[in-house]
Amino acid sequence: MSQPLKAKLVGMLEVVYPELDCDFLAEQLLGTMELAPNREPPPAHQNNWDESDIILITYADTVQREGEKPLQTLHRFLTDCLAETVSAVHILPFFPYSSDDGFSVMDYLAVNESHGSWSDVEKIAGDFKLMADLVINHMSARSRWFENFRKRVDPGKDYFFEGNPKDDLSAVVRPRTSPLLTPVQTEDGERYVWCTFSEDQVDLNFANPRVLIEFAGIIKQYLDHGVVMFRLDAVAFLWKEPGTPCIHLQQTHELIKILRLLIEHHTPEAVVITETNVPNRENLTYFGNANEAHLIYNFSLPPLLINTLVTGNCRHLKTWLMSMPPAQMGTTYLNFIASHDGIGMRPTDGLLEEDEKQRLINTMESFGGKVSYRRTADGRDQPYEINIALWDALKGTAEGGADHCQLQRFLCAHTIMLALEGIPAFYIHSLLGTENDYARVENTGRLRSINRGQWQLDKLEEELENPLCHHSKVYHELKRLIAIRRGQPAFHPNATQFTLHLGLQLFGFWRQSMRRDQSVFCIHNISNEVQQVALSDINLIGTDHWVDLISGMAIDDLAGSITLKPYQSVWLSNQTGGRGSGV
């Protein structure tokens, strides 16, 4: 018999706040969330997703139309163009903000007036699963809470984490080169606030339980407005203790469990996603025992996949894939190749050698990319991420430079992502094949702006209707591949996956549906040369009828071979899933 909600919550709170009255704190949290203390939990290990789930990542104002609020324009674009393509939409922070394109939130409970209103958000949530950011680690230095911190009044007086320059902070893991502590003048003198990311993004103090209660209220409002997917931004840095790395601490993991417990008891179909741009082994810990994140970002996939395609060698990608544990039921991976941020380099730690990392960086720089740095404990600056549009990142190879295979290479990357265990997420600029935006970088002074451009809807529609334009070619072919994927039970996010051994120029894996009624062999030529695949090497069952889902080509001679052009992919299926080839 499951433990009552309140008792379970108290047990978690006691780990984080051992000196507090956790029974009373649990009552406050349950009251804020409007949950009965004995509310029944959702079914254990429940998959709130299937093979039809595809996520679109976008800013509220990426697509614009004159005289219309961007959230309304976004809804129009989604319903007119992507209703049969994506099931969920991650709208990056749509709140009032002071910097970092939304991730320096001034008011968690308001919609940026320039974007639209809560009514506009709810309309999108009515047609798509809605993911929103819970920017939980830090808040804007221009927020009302921080103004109250300066004035030494509530709410806000004790909401931000303070540091002491005399403390030993040498072990703190940093994602930036900016100072960790920022001095601020308050009504009772100078204080030093902790700033993991920038002086405008001041870290919150979850050692104060009132901050946790505030976030329970924020979560409740998001749920009421239709949010069902919660992305916990920069959550790895949540709990701080001087003298430690201040990342991945036990209290952080326990707080994630607490938030998940509250969210899923309120809305059983809701899911929690942790954003932890860290080395692969550290990232995997955020599944917990299927009681922390429902989804974790597959942060090692983007750099490894891009490295594979520009080198023509899949050794590291294959080794990584073989090392990845199957996600427990009720959890899965969120697969992506590009996002609003750059290509993270920390997730390659232990996966690429230093000279290989540098070669990747050099190649991306030759294709117009930029590099952002972080400061290590010994004071050195190391590459943190590569800032580049994915379209440009795949314009050529490390050895030969730009070539004529950019489109094929770009599509190959997404064909691989679509077939992997997990839920695929498409950054809108990848779905549209948007190029590096140098003008935006110059205008903002921020390297990440290179991949945060904006489209006027009329211009975008014109480009997508032009069959000779690469934007149109990318958009329509990706939509076609997505449609095929959504009809295959072997591509359920939790379906079985095994890595195939086909050499270094062919990257392959096998997927089998959970009912074992469909198998798909996913084979990809990741090189710029023609490759032969001996069908005997992949052991197709002779009594089944096999077809390539992508091209519709039937496989008649199982003793023969197939020829793959540079960057061509095949999804060989026995079609017993009962949903056809999708072509």
Write the pLDDT tens digit of every residue in 246-256. Answer: 999 999 999 99
Is residue 45 a part of any domain in this protein? no
Same domain, residue pair 526 and 416: no
Residue 534 pLDDT more than 90?
yes
Same domain, residue pair 549 and 419: no
Domain around 527: 495-573
Same domain, residue pair 445 and 530: no
Helix (H, G, I), strand (E, B) or coil at 9: helix
Give the pLDDT score at 2.
63
**Binding-site residue set:** 100, 138, 231-233, 340-341, 448
- What is the mean pLDDT of the segment spanning 472-483? 98
Same domain, residue pair 536 and 424: no
- Beta bridge partners, 358, equal none
Confidence class of residue 379 from pLDDT cuts 50, 70 and 90?
confident
Is residue 450 a part of any domain in this protein? yes
Is residue 446 a part of any domain in this protein? yes
Same domain, residue pair 313 and 456: yes
Same domain, residue pair 456 and 530: no
Is residue 138 a part of any domain in this protein? no
Encoded tokens for 436: 């590096």
- Prediction pTM value: 0.96
Per-residue pLDDT tens over the stretch 413-469: 999 999 999 999 999 999 999 999 999 999 999 999 999 999 999 999 999 999 999
Last-in-domain residue among 419, 444, 462 = 462
Same domain, residue pair 451 and 500: no
Same domain, residue pair 366 and 443: yes
Is the Cα torsion angle 64, 67, 73, 76 positive or negative in sign?
A: negative
Last-in-domain residue among 438, 462, 486 = 462
Is residue 333 a part of any domain in this protein? yes
CATH number of the CATH domain containing 553: 2.60.40.1180
Residue 21's CB is within 10 A of a number of other CB atoms, namely 12
In the set 61, 133, 233, 548, the catalytic residue is: 233
CATH number of the CATH domain containing 458: 3.20.20.80
Is residue 294 a part of any domain in this protein? no
- What is the mean pLDDT of the segment spanning 178-204? 97
Q: Please give the backbone phi and psi of residue 233, each rounded to the nearest 5 degrees, phi first.
A: -70, 135
Q: What is the number of domains present in the chain?
A: 2
Per-residue pLDDT tens over the stretch 560-581: 999 999 999 999 999 754 333 3
Is residue 209 a part of any domain in this protein? no
Q: Cα separation of 483 and 499, whole Å?
A: 24
Same domain, residue pair 515 and 374: no
Last-in-domain residue among 462, 486, 514 = 462
233 belongs to the catalytic site: yes
Q: Cα separation of 30 and 483, whole Å?
A: 42
Averaged confidence pLDDT in the chain: 96
- What is the mean pLDDT of the segment spanning 303-321? 98
- What is the mean pLDDT of the segment spanning 142-155? 98
DSSP, residue by residue, 195-252: -SSBTTEEEB-TTSHHHHHHHHHHHHHHHHTTEEEEEETTGGG-S--TTS--SS-HHH
Residue 583 pLDDT more than 70?
no
Same domain, residue pair 507 and 453: no
Same domain, residue pair 444 and 358: yes
Same domain, residue pair 386 and 437: yes
Residue 466's CB is within 10 A of a number of other CB atoms, namely 12
Q: Which helix (H) or strand (E) holds 405?
A: none
Is residue 444 a part of any domain in this protein? yes
**Binding-site residue set for substrate:** 100, 138, 231-233, 340-341, 448
Residue 545's CB is within 10 A of a number of other CB atoms, namely 12
